[in-house]
């Protein structure tokens, strides 16, 4: 892909599936000429005649039988995403139609784009640096609101800006240190010891702050896990199915129906969480059983989910007499966000909530629901949202998440500078060994260059672009 930057490439760049509008995108020297062969404006305008950036309403003619209403967007090089000529044809979002349009362009000499190839061209042609490219990749894969915002920050170059400022400071420092090496015996002092220390300390502090305050972008993409826990037959699977809108889990009046943990995404307003259904909990009983008994295995899976869940829904059958095992379960979930869900509320005569509901610890909110009538489910969703997302994103709009590659480059830079700092010794003066000092500062500069892609390897590019989908 990187070795054929002048092929004209084509791909469907709208999401897969049927939609009102689909987009076919072409980039390369022949993009406009190729689009010109199938597209005509409503007043007979031809794409080859339009200048600069232009939008035309018209139609696509694949053959005489079918005319598709379409809009063409022309972006002439270099004022385009890839800095090449780009044409986007927006037409009906039917996958076979969009495939037929792409096929036509391929017959005429275009090549199908590989995943990420449009963005790779933007990079190769200098329109974007690597941190912004990773912003695009992260945005494509964003599954949560916070991840989307973090990827936007990357895309808009927030990380490049911050690292460019640090690099500039270090490059200046390096020039002065090197001048001192070259003119060691001269009368001029190019930079004083305290100045070197100040520049090093400032940059080490900036790097440390960036590393400390930026969550990992991969972690932001992982949905928070909400475990449904409770005694056999409490109504866990029925609640799971209701909340996820799926009919995945068998629910039945026979206790012990669910044998393993089952997960499914659950929409929660504009975010998503991962809901986990588990087998009914039987405290104390399993120790006596054979180790490979299915109940023991099921409980093991629940236990693992319990240790990693971000929040727990403790499901209690409100229509049944209170079961003391629930108190043990509450104790097991101490220090974790827990919501007690009193199910089957439809079976209780109005006005007579079970007594135990009023006795739970005050920091454990209780929501009464009926998975059958839907009563209380909205209140439960709000409670989950509150407990899971209450403390998230203390940095607000400044949130800048880092990929593990970026984190590594920043840590390398910090370590090199820390070594340089140690060389300066305790006397607040830079070491006489200026060459070694210069070496470490140079190392930090190249780690930062690796971050934005000024120093880059084919392998690294391959890994980054592998995260893209076709058409981007």
Ligand X SMILES: Nc1nc2c(ncn2[C@@H]2O[C@H](COP(=O)(O)OP(=O)(O)OP(=O)(O)O)[C@@H](O)[C@H]2O)c(=O)[nH]1
Residues that bind ligand X (CB under 6 A): 230, 232-238, 251-253, 255-258, 279-280, 343-344, 346-347, 370-372
With CB cut-offs between 5 and 8 Å by kind, which of Mg ion, ligand X, none does residue 233 bind? ligand X
Task: Kindly state the smallest distance separating residue 372's Cβ from ligand X, in Å.
Answer: 4
With CB cut-offs between 5 and 8 Å by kind, which of Mg ion, ligand X, none does residue 215 bind? none
Q: Which residues contact 290 (CB under 8 A, 6 or more apart)?
A: 296
With CB cut-offs between 5 and 8 Å by kind, which of Mg ion, ligand X, none does residue 256 bind? ligand X
The Cα 339–Cα 317 span in angstroms is 14
Helix runs in 110-265, H state only = 117-124, 130-141, 145-155, 158-182, 193-213, 217-221, 236-244
User: How far is Cα of residue 394 from the mean position of the Cα atoms in its chain?
Assistant: 18
With CB cut-offs between 5 and 8 Å by kind, which of ligand X, Mg ion, none does residue 370 bind? ligand X
The Cα 205–Cα 216 span in angstroms is 19
Q: Give the angle 300-301-304 at the CA atoms, nearest 5°.
A: 85
Distances from the Cα of 153 to the Cα of 57, 157, 248, 323, 407, angstroms: 34, 7, 37, 50, 16
With CB cut-offs between 5 and 8 Å by kind, which of ligand X, Mg ion, none does residue 472 bind? none
Q: 149 or 236, CB closer to ligand X? A: 236
Task: Kindly state the smallest distance separating residue 91's Cβ from ligand X, in Å.
Answer: 47
Task: Kindly state the smallest distance separating residue 344's Cβ from ligand X, in Å.
Answer: 4
In this structure, what DSSP letter does residue 402 have? B
Task: Kindly state the smallest distance separating residue 81's Cβ from Mg ion, in Å.
Answer: 50
Q: Give the angle 101-107-111 at the CA atoms, nearest 5°.
A: 85
With CB cut-offs between 5 and 8 Å by kind, which of Mg ion, ligand X, none does residue 414 bind? none
Judged by the rule CB under 5 A, the positions of this chain that interact with Mg ion are 236-237, 257-258
Q: 66 or 255, CB closer to ligand X? A: 255
Task: Kindly state the smallest distance separating residue 300's Cβ from ligand X, in Å.
Answer: 15
With CB cut-offs between 5 and 8 Å by kind, which of Mg ion, ligand X, none does residue 91 bind? none
Task: Kindly state the smallest distance separating residue 251's Cβ from ligand X, in Å.
Answer: 3
Task: Kindly state the smallest distance separating residue 316's Cβ from ligand X, in Å.
Answer: 10
Q: Which residues contact 183 (CB under 8 A, 6 or more apart)?
A: 190
With CB cut-offs between 5 and 8 Å by kind, which of Mg ion, ligand X, none does residue 346 bind? ligand X
Cβ–Cβ under 8 Å, residues 256 and 305: no
Query: What are the structure tokens assigned to 61, written together?
Result: 């003619």
User: What three-state secondary structure class fits 193?
Assistant: helix
Q: 24 or 342, CB closer to ligand X? A: 342
Task: Kindly state the smallest distance separating residue 456's Cβ from ligand X, in Å.
Answer: 52
State the residue for tokens 């890994």: 463
With CB cut-offs between 5 and 8 Å by kind, which of ligand X, Mg ion, none does residue 8 bind? none
Q: Which residue's CB atom is positioned nearest to ligand X?
A: 280
Query: What are the structure tokens assigned to 378, written together?
Result: 């909205």
Q: 310 or 346, CB closer to ligand X? A: 346
Task: Kindly state the smallest distance separating residue 160's Cβ from ligand X, in Å.
Answer: 50
Task: Kindly state the smallest distance separating residue 243's Cβ from ligand X, in Å.
Answer: 12
State the residue for tokens 């800006």: 161
Compute and round to an integer the Cα radius of gyration of the chain: 30
Q: Which residues contact 146 (CB under 8 A, 6 or more apart)?
A: 220, 392, 393, 399
User: What three-state secondary structure class fits 305?
Assistant: helix
Q: 34 or 316, CB closer to ligand X? A: 316
Query: What are the structure tokens assigned to 425, written together?
Result: 């010794």
Q: 82 or 233, CB closer to ligand X? A: 233
Distances from the Cα of 387 to the Cα of 146, 201, 395, angstroms: 16, 39, 18
With CB cut-offs between 5 and 8 Å by kind, which of Mg ion, ligand X, none does residue 232 bind? ligand X
Start-to-end CA span in the chain (Å): 13
The Cα 67–Cα 69 span in angstroms is 7
């Amino acid at each position: 892909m990187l070795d054929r930057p002048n092929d004209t490439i084509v791909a469907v760049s709208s999401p897969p599936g049927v939609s009102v509008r689909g987009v076919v995108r072409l980039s390369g020297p022949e993009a406009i000429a190729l689009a010109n062969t199938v597209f005509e404006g409503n007043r007979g305008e031809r794409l080859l005649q339009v200048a600069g950036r232009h939008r035309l309403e018209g139609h696509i003619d694949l053959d005489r039988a079918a005319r598709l209403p379409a809009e063409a967007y022309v972006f002439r090089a270099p004022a385009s995403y890839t800095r090449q000529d780009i044409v986007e044809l927006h037409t009906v979002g039917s996958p076979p139609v969009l495939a037929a349009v792409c096929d036509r362009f391929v017959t005429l000499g275009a090549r199908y784009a590989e995943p990420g190839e449009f963005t790779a061209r933007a990079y190769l042609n200098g329109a974007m640096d690597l941190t912004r490219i990773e912003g695009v990749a992260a945005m494509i894969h964003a599954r949560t609101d916070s991840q989307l915002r973090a990827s936007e920050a990357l895309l808009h170059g927030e990380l490049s800006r911050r690292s460019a400022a640090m690099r500039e400071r270090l490059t200046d420092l390096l020039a002065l240190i090197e001048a001192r090496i070259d003119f060691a015996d001269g009368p001029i002092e190019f930079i004083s010891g305290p100045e070197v220390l100040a520049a090093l300390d400032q940059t080490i502090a900036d790097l440390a702050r960036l590393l400390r305050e930026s969550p990992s972008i991969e972690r932001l993409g992982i949905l928070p896990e909400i475990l449904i826990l409770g005694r056999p037959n409490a109504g866990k699977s029925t609640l799971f199915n209701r909340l996820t809108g799926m009919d995945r889990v068998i629910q039945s009046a026979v206790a012990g129906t669910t044998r393993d943990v089952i997960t499914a995404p659950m929409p929660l307003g504009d975010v998503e969480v991962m809901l986990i259904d588990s087998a009914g909990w039987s405290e104390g009983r399993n120790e006596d059983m054979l180790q490979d008994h299915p109940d023991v295995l099921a409980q093991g899976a629940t236990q693992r989910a319990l240790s990693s869940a971000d929040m727990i829904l403790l499901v209690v059958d409100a229509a049944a007499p209170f079961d003391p095992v629930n108190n043990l379960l509450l104790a097991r979930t101490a220090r974790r966000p827990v919501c007690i869900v009193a199910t089957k509320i439809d079976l209780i005569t109005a006005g007579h909530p079970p007594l135990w509901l009023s006795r739970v610890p005050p920091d454990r909110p209780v929501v009464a629901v009926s998975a059958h009538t839907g009563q209380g489910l909205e209140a439960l969703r709000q409670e989950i949202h509150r407990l899971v997302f209450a403390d998230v994103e203390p940095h607000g709009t400044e949130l800048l998440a880092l990929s593990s590659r970026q984190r590594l480059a920043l840590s390398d830079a910090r370590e090199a500078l820390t070594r340089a700092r140690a060389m300066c010794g305790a006397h607040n003066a830079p070491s006489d060994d200026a060459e070694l000092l210069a070496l470490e500062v140079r190392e930090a500069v190249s780690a930062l260059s690796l971050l934005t892609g000024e120093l880059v390897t084919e392998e690294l590019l391959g890994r980054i672009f592998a995260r893209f989908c076709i058409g981007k």
